[in-house]
Amino acid sequence: MQSDLLAAALLSKSELIENRRYLHRNPEISFQEYRTAEFIESKLAAMNIRFSRIAETGVIARIGTGERCVALRADIDALPIEEKTELPYASQNSGVMHACGHDCHTAMLLTAAKILKERENELGGTVKLLFQPGEEKVPGGASLMIAAGALTNPMPEAIFGQHVFPDSDVGTILTTEGMMMASADELYWTLTGKGAHAAQPHQGTDPIIAAAELILHLQSIITKSRNPLVPGLLGITAVNGGSATNIIPEVVEMKGTLRSFDMEWRKQTLNEIAVRTEKLCDLFGVKGVCNIVRGYPPVWNDPICSNFVIDIAKQLAGADCALDFEPKMWGEDFGYYGRHIPAAFWMLGVRSAGENNVPGLHNPRFSPDESALPLGAAMLASAAVEWLSK
Query: Percent of the chain scored above 70 by pLDDT?
Result: 100
160 confidence band (pLDDT: 50, 70, 90): very high
pLDDT for residue 161 is more than 80: yes
Q: What is the CATH number of domain 183-296?
A: 3.30.70.360
Q: Which residues contact 229 (CB under 8 A, 6 or more apart)?
A: none
Euclidean distance between CA atoms 311 and 282, whole angstroms: 57
Query: Percent of the chain scored above 90 by pLDDT?
Result: 97
pLDDT tens figures, 3-41: 799 999 999 999 999 999 999 999 999 999 999 999 999
Dihedral class, residue 316 (left if φ above 0, else alpha if ψ from -120 to 50, else beta): alpha
Q: What is the CATH number of domain 2-182+298-388?
A: 3.40.630.10
In terms of pLDDT, which residue wins out, 105 or 356?
105
Hey, what amino acid is at 270? Answer: L
Say what the pLDDT of residue 217 is. Answer: 96
pLDDT tens figures, 134-147: 999 999 999 999 99
Alpha-helical segments (H) within the chain: 2-11, 13-25, 34-46, 102-118, 141-147, 207-224, 263-283, 303-317, 373-388
Hey, what amino acid is at 228? Answer: P
Lowest mean pLDDT, pick from 95-109, 198-212, 328-342, 352-366: 352-366
pLDDT tens figures, 37-95: 999 999 999 999 999 999 999 999 999 999 999 999 999 999 999 999 999 999 999 99
Say what the pLDDT of residue 354 is. Answer: 83
Lowest mean pLDDT, pick from 106-120, 136-150, 295-309, 348-362: 348-362
Q: Residue-wise over 181-195: b if at least 16 C-beta within 10 A, else e?
A: bbbbbbbebebbbeb
1 confidence band (pLDDT: 50, 70, 90): low
CB–CB of 205/287 below 8 Å?
A: no
Domain residues of the chain, as ranges?
2-182+298-388, 183-296
Helix (H, G, I), strand (E, B) or coil at 305: helix
Say what the pLDDT of residue 360 is. Answer: 95
DSSP designation for 124: S
Mean pLDDT of the chain: 97
pLDDT for residue 379 is more than 90: yes
Average pLDDT over residues 223-252: 95
β-partners of residue 29 are 78
Closest CA to 193 of 283, 80, 318, 103: 283
Say what the pLDDT of residue 79 is. Answer: 98
Average pLDDT over residues 262-272: 96
Euclidean distance between CA atoms 219 and 224, whole angstroms: 8
Say what the pLDDT of residue 3 is. Answer: 78
Distance from CA of residue 243 to its chain's centroid?
36
Say what the pLDDT of residue 102 is. Answer: 98
pLDDT tens figures, 273-300: 999 999 999 999 999 999 999 999 999 9
Say what the pLDDT of residue 345 is. Answer: 98
pLDDT for residue 2 is more than 80: no
The pTM assigned to this predicted structure is 0.94
Dump the DSSP string for 15-62. Answer: HHHHHHHHHHHS--BTT--HHHHHHHHHHHHHTT-EEEEETTTEEEEE
